[in-house]
Amino acid sequence: MRLRPKSPQYDRDIDGLVIGGGTDLYPPLFKIDPNPHYNYDHDRDALEIKWLERAEEHNMPVLGICRGAQLLNVQRGGTLHVDVSKVYENARYPANIFANIFFRKAINIEPESALKNIFKTQRLQVNSMHKQSIDTLGHGFAVSAKEDNGVVQAIEDRSRAFCMGVQFHPEALIYKSIFRALFKCFVNAAKERKI
């Protein structure tokens, strides 16, 4: 089921929540001035924040992807870097259609993380389609993966059965079994909650 601002369906009972990529979050949500030339999606921000609150209240599995990972963090009081290339060295990534398809960078996965249990490796090549990244962590989150330059690539709330955000786009890498394992784990968590 797809949730939209025009059809938020807050009364529906769902088993898990995926928040995908898209437009940048409205910076005042994390106490930064907005770009006056950017077209923010306030309705989507409000919809997804409300659903994240419901997910917490009902212990629903949550997977945040790119913007979704950032929103997970911000909803818990964390902040973002609005331009990763201005904060970290070696963080100017190609940003054209071919780069979105082919460019890869390495991430280091924390050995005691849920992400490590899913991927069964501590180093992995992922895609890069973002210019923002997590700065200060939101309440209850731990970093589960970073790039060599320090850019946060994944966060997780280890107190919940499944609550994770990844900065990369595993749905664009679904042809590899290692990334399908992430979605499989999410689906299994949703099934267990339903029982």
Are 142 and 112 within 8 A, CB to CB? no
Question: Rounded to 5 degrees, what are φ and ψ at 16?
Answer: -165, 160
On the CB side of 32, CA atoms within 13 Å amount to: 17
Are 85 and 131 within 8 A, CB to CB? yes
Q: Which residues are catalytic?
A: 66, 169, 171
On the CB side of 16, CA atoms within 13 Å amount to: 23
Write the single-letter amino acid at 43: D
Question: In the structure, how many helices (H) and strands (E) does the chain have?
Answer: 5, 9
Are 71 and 25 within 8 A, CB to CB? yes
Are 5 and 13 within 8 A, CB to CB? no
The Cα–Cα gap between 49 and 54 comes to: 9
Helix (H, G, I), strand (E, B) or coil at 124: strand
